Structure 1
Amino acid sequence: MNNYHLLHIEFEYGGHKQVITPVLLQDERDTILIDCGYPDFMHLLEAAADKQGIAFESITKLIVTHHDIDHIGSLAEIKRTYPHIKIIAHELDAPYVDGTRRSLRLEQAQSTLNAITDEAKPQAEQLIRSLQSLEPALVDQTVHSNELLPWCGGIEIIHTPGHMPGHISLYLPSSKTLIAADAVVIEQGQLNIANPQFTLDLEEAVRSVQRLLDYDIERIICYHGGLYNGDVKAALQELVQKYTS
């Protein structure tokens, strides 16, 4: 039984049309949002939830998979507007979400600024300004690898580092569904590593994909790409081989 809803969010960023796919999980007690887009995306999320027949104020929990700006950008606004929503993050990522530690993506962007072309610098500088202005939000609950949360038919936390050290994916055993976040993305119908040139530890990211093969996954939902239509196990194996052969 599927207890999830894909929120299809279309927008323009950096002059390009983009799409992200946050996910809503729901049962008789909880409505859980997975990731929340860029800053000022709350109205887009509210509209997308409404299309699914779900009132945004019914959300009880918000799980963030990692602290990239396109995953936590609207977190503080949502918490301020709906203070009853419980914010949940992996124990390694929580200090970056709440602002206790400096964003790893900001450190990466600043450290590589002098190495990029003059043509690429304006966009990189804009990213740095956006990351510097990102409003932190307090995390109400931290989770750890292999933790099984009892909500919405059960949610297993899979620690999938590489893209970021505290990155998590979520496995829903009841429907054999993986919410991959940025552990993998869909590009031209194929699974791939998310932005390999910006992945903080590419070898670790590939090992995380290898780890997903231990799970009985029938469908994958990617934050960038949506629902994957294909043989999941074969696609994951092919992706691992691509980076290890």
Structure 2
Amino acid sequence: MKITSITTSPYASNSYLINEKILIDPGMDTDQLIQKIKEHTQPENIELIILTHSHFDHCAAAKAVAEICNAPIAIHKDDAQALKSKEESVSILFSAPAPDIDPDILYENGDIIKISETESLEVIHTPGHTPGGISLYEPSSKSLFSGDTVFPNGGIGRTDFTGGSLDKLSVSIEKLTELDVITLYPGHGPVTSDDVNKQIRLSLQMSRAYR
């Protein structure tokens, strides 16, 4: 699996280009993102845009990027309605309108996204940061794209936004501790391969400490 990490601004989420055809979390800056994608592939080669959740810093550019790439947008069904809300998408914090996205694909827990002949992403519903937050696990490389559920060094997603729940986040992180993860690709912060299973267990401890 070929993974390119792209960050367009200090406030935007990390974007991940997988096998030069799957884009996770386009972030907020369409022009910068497209420019960086062109360093690796042509935008029209993008076949799917996946949103790990509905927050503005992860998806504000999704609609424009989708039009340029002619690619469908996918999100968990429980976050679809939040893309129309300034409060639930937290676009209000950026003094911006809601992303106003009509997703083409609605995921549920356990859905499988094929990304090559031998590789696939498993959709893991990880609510808590948002009701429809997801993490994506690729078992052959043991890679985890965690959105804003967990971050390196025991970090956890905020739960004080509309739709957040610390109890649900803790349950979600416990689910992630059952995976064998070699590399963590978080929604913010650096990619890490430093004893990731231990880092996720630390995130679980952190979530329980705040409950």
Inter-partner Cα distance in structure 1 for 2:66 and 2:204: 38
2:67 paired with 1:104: no
Distance verdict in 2 for CA 1:208–1:216, change over 3 Å: same
Inter-partner Cα distance in structure 2 for 1:80 and 1:55: 14
TM-score of the aligned structures, taking structure 1 as reference length: 0.76
CA RMSD of aligned residues (A): 2.2
What is the aligned residue count?
A: 206
1:193 corresponds to which letter in structure 2? I
Secondary structure of 1:20's aligned partner:
coil
Query: For residue 35 of structure 2, what is the aligned residue in structure 1?
Result: 47
1:4 corresponds to which letter in structure 2? I
2:110 paired with 1:150: no
Distance verdict in 2 for CA 1:18–1:138, change over 3 Å: closer
Shift of 1:95: 2.4
Query: For residue 7 of structure 1, what is the aligned residue in structure 2?
Result: 6
Asked if the contact 2:128/2:172 (under 8 Å) is kept, the reply is yes
Inter-partner Cα distance in structure 2 for 1:56 and 1:103: 31
Task: State the structure with more CA Rg.
Answer: 1
Among candidates 57, 64, 67, match of residue 54 of structure 2:
67
Shift of 1:102: 6.5
Shift of 1:105: 4.4
Shift of 1:33: 0.4
Inter-partner Cα distance in structure 1 for 2:144 and 2:46: 21
Query: For residue 194 of structure 1, what is the aligned residue in structure 2?
Result: 157
Unpaired segments ≥5 residues, structure 2? none
Inter-partner Cα distance in structure 1 for 2:166 and 2:41: 37
Asked if the contact 1:19/1:225 (under 8 Å) is kept, the reply is no
Query: For residue 19 of structure 2, what is the aligned residue in structure 1?
Result: 26
Asked if the contact 1:8/1:48 (under 8 Å) is kept, the reply is no
Structure 1 residue ranges (4+ consecutive) displaced by more than 6 angstroms after TM superposition: none
Query: Share of identical aligned residues, percent?
Result: 25
Among candidates 207, 213, 216, match of residue 180 of structure 2:
216
1:43 corresponds to which letter in structure 2? D
Distance verdict in 2 for CA 1:34–1:163, change over 3 Å: same
1:61 corresponds to which letter in structure 2? L
Query: For residue 120 of structure 1, what is the aligned residue in structure 2?
Result: none
Shift of 1:5: 1.6
2:30 corresponds to which letter in structure 1? M
Inter-partner Cα distance in structure 2 for 1:165 and 1:63: 16
